[in-house]
Structure 1
Amino acid sequence: MSQNSLERTENEEKTFLNRNRDTHDDEECSGNNNELAFEDAFELTGQGKFNYVVLLTCGLIMLNVSMESVGMSYVITAAECELELTSEHKGLITAAAFIGIISTSFLWGYLGDRFGRRAVMLPSMLASAVLSITSSFSINVWMLLILRILTGCLVSASSATVYAYLGELHIKSRRASAIAWASAFISFSFIILPALAWIIIPGKWSWSLFGFPIVPWRVFIWSWCVPGIIAACILAWLPESARYLLSAKGPDKALPVLARMYACNKGMGVDNYPVERIITSSTEAKQSSGFVGAVKNLTLMFQAPLLRCVLISNTSMFAVFMLSSGLYMWVPDILNSVMSDTSAEDITICQIIHNKFQAAMNETLEEETGPCHSEVSVKVFPISMGMGVVFAVTYMAIGLLISRIGRKTLYCSIMFVCGLATISAAFVPQAAGATALLILALCSGCAASILAAIAVDVFPTCLRAMAMCVMYMVGRTGAAVGSNILGATLDRHCQLAFTTFGVFISGSVILMVFWPKPEKVRDEMEQRGLSY
């Protein structure tokens, strides 16, 4: 850094310190220019390399969670004969990760608020990679199912905690856009997974590892563990959230993290950080400890003013996942039906699905002959990659527009349009148009990041990880419910199922009318001694 730029930076910092000193009470500043309130000290760290590394790391974590959650959708067909999978087995295996995530979200939320965001995510990510790789050596369906559920349990630790960690390491004005940009990595999973599957799964090769036969689908599982391992390595270098440390352990523990952020962003040493002490009020940074304290804090989520936020955010996230993830689990099968249809006339996708169902019913009346043969249609892979590109563009557009349009407006617009697209997809008598509408409907998943950005602001630091984990637990419950509803109704009541989904999704935006002002919620919670 040049001498002129160094002097300019120092002058800017002195101006900032003097300006903020004047805004605080004389008693609070006690004449020391190097004492600041936490928010002012946090603002002073700036925006730079440290924040970009955090964003990249959190993006890779989200990518890892998404790949671990939906990757088995590409495996079940390839492993069908080797593991003797039935339709019921396939349903269980594809839902295994969701089962693990849903069943342990509450526990990880408690641990994240109790011991720290990074302290929970780092070991669980490493352990989930080990279990995921181990699952590739499964010799029967039950071994694979158990290992995938356990993998989901560990993935759950970072699936929602990452939003709290990412939001707490960005200033308020950049928090929403940071969450949106990191969430774009989720869309990359819908490009990377089918691309890897296209390269690996159709292969006819095999080799032996210590006498165990290694076939393409097993290597495919190894490949999607790479982003999580890379993210864990970077996370080992990153510090704990400064906001969490302030809330749980006090300002003396948070100050070194702020100094490190400042040093990384400014290209200086930590000793150059001009703040020597963080000023706190008498109630700030105090948090009840232990399990009893966590339960006491948790009860605040079910009291005004947070209760309304919990009900609205959880119901909305249920709707988002019900459509995006619930429908996505069936899209490859729907696309296979559409591409295999030989009818010359233009009919709806629901009619195509019904015709396939009738043909399958007729085949069951005939005697089965010949050995098991599983074939993965490569036509699905480029379409799935195209879907991923659409999702990526949508996420990036959200990152650019969220600060200009507003979170609530953008969220409601996306959900309303996706709901209408869901209804229309069932009635359009043209396969290409219906497929495009299905892809548009799946873009509702991008609204999850906006909803997270809306919700993360209203929950205090000591409740934030728990609130996000519970919200995503409810969301993934919606995915499981949506997937099962479609599985039970697509063949016989396809148009009714799509219409019901579309109406529910579009109608859910009405809840945002009742979302309280974040400033009012924060003021009331801060009066109770909880910090943000």
Structure 2
Amino acid sequence: MNDKSLGSENYALVQGDNEPADFEKAITTAKWGKFHLMVYAIAITSGWSSMLETTSMSYVFPAAECDLNLNLEHKGLLNAITYAGMISTGFVWGYLCDTLGRKKLLVTGYLLDGLFVLLSASSQSFTMLMISKFFGGLIINGPFSALTTYLSELHCATQRSRAQFLLGIIYSTGTLFLPVLAILVLPLDFRIELSQYFVFHSWSLYLFLCAFAPLTSAIAFIFLPESPKFLMTTGKNEEALKIFRKIYRMNTGNPEDTYPVKALVDEIELNSGNKYGKVTANRSKTKAFLEGFEQMKPLFHRPYFTKLILVCIIQCFTMSSLNTLRLWLPQLFQAMSDYELNHNTTAPLCDALDVFHANTTVRNVTEKCVVNTNLSVYTNSAIVCIVTLIAYVISGGLINKVGRRRLYVFLAILAGSAAMSLFFSINNLMTLTLASIFVAAGSVMINCMLAFIVDMFPTTLRTITVALAMMSGRTGAALGNTLYPVLLHGGCAPPFFFNGFLSLSCALLGFLLPATDFSALK
């Protein structure tokens, strides 16, 4: 990237300039380069961890259905329970991240999440799997919020939106990793009895391999620095300046002592007149705890309260719509596969969904359970993920040209239309096409909203706001997945029109979002 793309013309410095620099000037002067590429590389497994935690069960269901005696209600609960865990700690993790730092949360959070993924891989019953998925969701909410904020705070204002879309691409590749891994592992269909009470299946191996993403992320973040913006906010300017120098050295190849910025502005002093969000340098953990609650007060006052309500409602509707249909897609594809196997022909999607209605109660122990493992279930899911990845790339190039608000509204209308059109799907190809459009548009919508939040709220409130917005979204996702089996029992129309209505509602609410404004970042 050239200097103009970084906005360096606005923050040009000459060698030896001793004027204290604000964060934007400091991070812009540190340039963009190898350091950021290294962070992106580490963010791959980190971003995957969040996606694996919420999505892996949707691929496990077809393989584990007989082993765990699962019905539609069980599957809905297992999809919802991870989000329930996330909801229970959304507020706490945001506070901890904004008061104790991004790095500590990233290391500790990913380590604990990896351990709970291993526990889920060892599950021998529906109850044990529910417990491990709940605690996995409880933990992963922290590093998810911290990663979003950490990445944004390593970029200047003109790059932040694109950085968030790059993070979206990383999440999308994580969703692609899951069906690819499923193709390689789940058809193995082995059963290893290690003891009377412990049996290891192919889906156990699948979950076991998923644990490597959070565990490697925890190790990698040990070697990365704390967010320099967070350090400046807490009065640790010397530490922040050292990090800026290291970033500058890695990006330019020049010695650290040639970094033009020699001093940073005192953000503690700048914020001293603000009755909210005042942070004490060199504070104790008890002091940080008390200040954390003090920092959150602006969220409940103008101008931030109305903005908070808006982004929380939009994120609730978006994630409820996306993460119900997205997580049930492998089941829809399985239903289509079962219909073709039983009738030797394709059919409209609504006819194929009758397969679900034959499996809505817990089976009798004498009834034989057979799972038809069909690779088309996972290849179709992989195609949906590839389309989503392409959508992220295209959106990243369009966002600054067409405007973030216009892009969001367009995507919401597109997602809503695609969801409702699934009711009219007449064959497998049409179902796959509409599902791909819906998931791609909905996924970009979520990341677009995160970029809105980064620009609409100041640093001291940013991670808390992200956490609260995502908590609202996950509340919607949990309720949607719990409700989805009921909607399926009600017929073919209710589930798809439910998804479409929520997405179209987001389109209307999107007109209330502000135009891009960098003033909150200063």
Contact 2:117–2:210, Cα closer than 8 Å, also in 1: no
3-state SS of the aligned residue for 2:264?
strand
Deviation readout 1:290-342 (Å, 9 max, x if unpaired)? 33322222121121111122122111111221121111122122222223335
> In structure 1, what is the equivalent of residue 231 of structure 2?
245
Deviation readout 1:245-270 (Å, 9 max, x if unpaired)? 11123422321111111111111332
- Structure whose alpha-carbon radius of gyration is higher: 1
Q: Which is worse superposed, 208-217 or 145-154?
A: 208-217
Distance 1:421 1:307 in 2: 33
Distance 2:97 2:135 in 1: 19
Alignment of 1:430-445 (within 5 A): 430-443=427-440, 444-445=442-443
Contact 1:190–1:387, Cα closer than 8 Å, also in 2: no
2:247 equivalent to 1:261: yes
Question: Aligned residues, how many?
Answer: 498
Deviation readout 1:399-423 (Å, 9 max, x if unpaired)? 2222222221211111111111111
2:25 equivalent to 1:55: no
2:101 equivalent to 1:116: yes
> In structure 2, what is the equivalent of residue 356 of structure 1?
355
Deviation of 1:45 (Å): 0.3
> In structure 2, what is the equivalent of residue 17 of structure 1?
13
What is the letter of the counterpart of residue 105 of structure 2?
V
Deviation of 1:431 (Å): 4.0
Closer, same or farther in 2 for the Cα pair 1:77/1:347, shift >3 Å? closer
> In structure 1, what is the equivalent of residue 3 of structure 2?
none
Distance 1:495 1:80 in 2: 25
Distance 1:520 1:158 in 2: 25
2:166 equivalent to 1:166: no
Closer, same or farther in 2 for the Cα pair 1:483/1:89, shift >3 Å? closer
3-state SS of the aligned residue for 2:62?
coil
Contact 1:422–1:498, Cα closer than 8 Å, also in 2: yes
Deviation of 1:193 (Å): 0.9
> In structure 2, what is the equivalent of residue 525 of structure 1?
none
Deviation of 1:351 (Å): 4.1
Distance 1:351 1:109 in 2: 45
Normalised to the residue count of structure 1, the TM-score between the two structures is 0.86
Percent identical among aligned pairs is 26
3-state SS of the aligned residue for 1:327?
helix
What is the letter of the counterpart of residue 172 of structure 2?
S
> In structure 1, what is the equivalent of residue 331 of structure 2?
333
Distance 2:337 2:190 in 1: 27
> In structure 2, what is the equivalent of residue 29 of structure 1?
none
What is the letter of the counterpart of residue 389 of structure 1?
I
> In structure 1, what is the equivalent of residue 506 of structure 2?
508
> In structure 2, what is the equivalent of residue 279 of structure 1?
265
2:381 equivalent to 1:405: no
Distance 1:90 1:287 in 2: 45
2:376 equivalent to 1:379: yes
Normalised to the residue count of structure 2, the TM-score between the two structures is 0.87
Contact 2:28–2:156, Cα closer than 8 Å, also in 1: yes
> In structure 1, what is the equivalent of residue 210 of structure 2?
224
Distance 1:345 1:81 in 2: 25
> In structure 2, what is the equivalent of residue 104 of structure 1?
89
Closer, same or farther in 2 for the Cα pair 1:48/1:504, shift >3 Å? same
Deviation readout 1:416-447 (Å, 9 max, x if unpaired)? 11111111221244442233112211221221
Deviation of 1:275 (Å): 1.9
3-state SS of the aligned residue for 1:239?
coil
Say which of 297, 305, 308 aligns to 1:307. 305
Q: Which is worse superposed, 201-210 or 444-453?
A: 201-210
Deviation readout 1:218-244 (Å, 9 max, x if unpaired)? 111121122223322321111111111
Say which of 445, 448, 461 aligns to 2:446. 448
What is the letter of the counterpart of residue 158 of structure 1?
P
Distance 2:192 2:178 in 1: 23
Deviation of 1:134 (Å): 2.5
Q: Which is worse superposed, 240-249 or 202-211?
A: 202-211
Distance 2:517 2:172 in 1: 32
Distance 2:75 2:421 in 1: 29
Say which of 133, 139, 151 aligns to 1:154. 139
Question: What is the root-mean-square deviation in Å for CA atoms of aligned residues?
Answer: 2.9
Closer, same or farther in 2 for the Cα pair 1:515/1:93, shift >3 Å? closer
Closer, same or farther in 2 for the Cα pair 1:16/1:356, shift >3 Å? closer
Structure 2 gap ranges (5+): 1-7, 273-277, 281-286
